[in-house]
């Protein structure tokens, strides 16, 4: 647990209260301003890490709802100003949803469907849903999760209710651009795919990822974003499988144009590096945006499990028709989940308000830049 003085707690409370005032902001992707976009036809994309509601998170959401129902909006209010201002915002919904009060945390998760409403209110347009917990409640868990996201107006990629849905590319509008969102996971904790539904969860397969990316491009996607649930838990550095797959995926080209424009990594529980590989930005791991107290493989409570980054990328249109949309600005925003307050905290805002969180922010910064991304222009954003 990170030690905090009363002064720090009061400063964080001020930050969270300011964020809560923004939580009712309506999120409409086509109409939002993109203050950092290059030119009138560019767009900004933000992406964040794992939403992993442990039992303590579920309890907090019930408390925030006044004891009746569940409200995840206050939990995310601190990052809402960053998320809602982007043209396109993507999250990672790691768990599936339960129903009728049958909600559980670790090890087999069933989260309240109100999570989807909280994500929508924060400004998220879509979520990746392929993870090692995608089959925690079988096909019914997938069905409930995607139904709830649909009701909330949040798009999704990575799991499916029908074969037709599995074959349909998720395409979102970001300013003037069509952005395809694809998502895959390394495993489902050994749980088999539902009988007769081999398409229920997208598994990482290099050939399939590239085939899907090319199909999305042929269908008219200007930008192809791939979310991958991968890596070694509790390891700050990307493992060899991550590095090798990132190299191969970013090297793939059709007609001289990269098949994939951005890779977003989740799963490791800790922030990992950003890197430009073969001209394409890769976030190896964004960390857990929402999670309860996290315990590492040694059984020790590990504060890194409540640290994360939000990636923000500004895309500019191609100079010529059919060319690549280029990232002209790459940023990361350091985040921390305060398990005591049950709130996501933008660390830059917290420090500006007087909270002594510099050591946490600087650790996240050092990890994000650990593979030399600063030389390619990666900067810490606000």
Burial of 94 (0-12, 13-18, 19+ CB in 10 A): buried
Task: Judge contact between 149 and 118, C-beta under 8 A.
Answer: no
* Pairwise pLDDT comparison (13 vs 276), residue with the higher score: 276
pTM for this prediction: 0.91
Q: Region 304-312: what's the mean pLDDT?
A: 98
pLDDT at 34 exceeding the cut of 70: no
pLDDT for residue 15: 38
- The DSSP string of 28-51 is -GGG---TT-SSTT-EEEEEEEEE
pLDDT for residue 58: 98
The whole-angstrom distance between residue 227's C-alpha and the CA centroid of its chain comes to 8
Q: Region 124-142: what's the mean pLDDT?
A: 98
Question: How far apart, in whole angstroms, are the C-alpha atoms of residue 342 and residue 72?
Answer: 10
Tens digits of per-residue pLDDT, 225-250? Answer: 999 999 999 999 999 999 999 999 99
Kindly report the average pLDDT of the chain as a whole number: 91
pLDDT for residue 193: 98
pLDDT at 19 exceeding the cut of 80: no
Q: Region 256-269: what's the mean pLDDT?
A: 98
What CATH number belongs to 6-380? 3.60.21.10
Q: How confident is the model at residue 23 (pLDDT cuts 50, 70, 90)?
A: very low
Question: How far apart, in whole angstroms, are the C-alpha atoms of residue 196 and residue 179?
Answer: 30
- Residue 121, phi-psi category: left (phi > 0), alpha (psi -120 to 50), beta (remainder): alpha
Tens digits of per-residue pLDDT, 324-377? Answer: 999 999 999 999 999 999 999 999 999 999 999 999 999 999 999 999 999 999
pLDDT for residue 321: 86
First to last CA, the chain: 25
| CB-based burial, 52-84: b 16+ in 10 Å, e otherwise | bbbeebbbbbbebbeeeebbbbbbbbbbbbbbb
CA angle 211, 216, 220 (to 5 degrees): 145
CA angle 97, 98, 102 (to 5 degrees): 150
pLDDT at 33 exceeding the cut of 60: no
Question: How far apart, in whole angstroms, are the C-alpha atoms of residue 6 and residue 210?
Answer: 51
pLDDT at 157 exceeding the cut of 50: yes
Could you check whether the bond before residue 107 is cis, i.e. omega within 30 degrees of 0? yes
Tens digits of per-residue pLDDT, 35-78? Answer: 444 444 899 999 999 999 999 999 999 999 999 999 999 999 99
pLDDT for residue 10: 31
Question: How far apart, in whole angstroms, are the C-alpha atoms of residue 200 and residue 138?
Answer: 9
């Amino acid at each position: 647990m990170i030690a905090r003085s009363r002064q720090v707690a009061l400063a964080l409370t001020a930050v969270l209260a300011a964020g809560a005032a923004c939580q009712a902001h309506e999120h409409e992707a086509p109409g939002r301003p993109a203050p950092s976009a290059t030119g009138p036809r560019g767009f900004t994309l933000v992406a964040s890490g794992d939403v992993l509601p442990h039992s303590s998170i579920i309890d907090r959401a019930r408390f925030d709802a006044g004891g009746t129902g569940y409200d995840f909006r206050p939990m995310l209010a601190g990052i809402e100003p960053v998320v809602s201002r982007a043209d396109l915002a993507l999250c990672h919904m790691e768990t599936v949803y339960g129903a009728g009060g049958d909600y559980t945390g670790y090890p087999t998760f069933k989260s309240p469907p109100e999570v989807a409403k909280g994500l929508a209110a924060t400004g998220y347009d879509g979520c990746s849903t392929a993870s090692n917990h995608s089959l925690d409640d079988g096909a019914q868990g997938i069905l409930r999760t995607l139904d709830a996201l649909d009701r909330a107006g949040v798009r999704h990629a990575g799991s499916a209710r029908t074969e037709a849905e599995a074959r349909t590319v998720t395409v979102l509008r970001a300013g003037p651009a069509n952005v395809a969102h694809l998502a895959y996971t390394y495993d489902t904790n050994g749980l088999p795919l539902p009988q007769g539904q081999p398409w229920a969860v997208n598994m990482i397969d290099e050939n399939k990822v590239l085939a899907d990316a090319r199909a999305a491009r042929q269908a008219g996607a200007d930008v192809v974003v791939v979310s991958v649930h991968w890596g070694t838990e509790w390891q700050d550095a990307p493992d060899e499988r991550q590095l090798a797959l990132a190299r191969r995926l970013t090297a793939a080209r059709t007609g001289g144009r990269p098949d994939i424009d951005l890779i977003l990594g989740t799963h490791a529980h800790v922030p990992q590096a950003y890197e430009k590989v073969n001209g394409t930005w890769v976030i190896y791991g964004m960390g857990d945006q929402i999670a309860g107290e996290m315990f590492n493989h040694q059984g020790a409570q590990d504060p890194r499990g409540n640290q994360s980054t939000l990636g923000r990328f500004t895309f500019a249109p191609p100079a010529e028709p059919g060319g690549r949309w280029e990232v002209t600005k790459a940023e990361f925003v350091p985040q921390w989940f305060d398990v005591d307050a049950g709130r996501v905290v933008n660390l830059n805002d917290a420090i500006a308000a007087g909270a002594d969180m510099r050591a946490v922010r600087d650790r996240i910064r050092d990890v994000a830049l650990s593979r030399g991304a600063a030389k390619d222009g990666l900067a810490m954003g606000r």
